[in-house]
Amino acid sequence: MYIETRARSIIKTISWRATATCATIILVFIFTGNIKLSASVGGVEVFTKLLLYYLHERVWGKINMGKTSAEDKVNSRAPEAGHNEMTAEKSEGRCLKSSERPDPIVSPNIRE
């Protein structure tokens, strides 16, 4: 699992906007055959869609549907008492169930 940084999100946003604007310019050119019109529409489209996206995000920020706190996510992943969850720990090529995990205090395989 990884956490996406703001810088990566910004680069992805710019990359997507450039890709979508190029698609708009190409489509307008295909339909009109006019490169100046195509570029003009693409230029207007960039700023219009950036504004609309911002407004869209602000509206969705006020809607609670689908939101959960980080604390809720962590608590929902905690295994219930007596639950035999599989782990990524390996022993002889197989995953260990939580009930089979060695005690870390007495286990000779623990490295610090």
Secondary structure, 3-state, the chain: CCCCCHHHHHHHHHHHHHHHHHHHHHHHHHHHCCHHHHHHHHHHHHHHHHHHHHHHHHHHHCCCCCCCCHHHHHHHHCCCCCCCCEEEEEECCEEEEHHHCCCCCCCCCCCC
Question: How crowded is residue 63: how many other Cβ atoms within 10 Å of its Cβ?
Answer: 8
pTM: 0.53
pLDDT tens for 24-65 read: 999 999 999 999 999 999 999 999 998 998 899 899 888 888
- CA atoms within 13 Å, Cβ hemisphere of 26: 6
**Torsion 71-74-76-79 (CA) sign:** negative
- Return the pLDDT at 41: 97
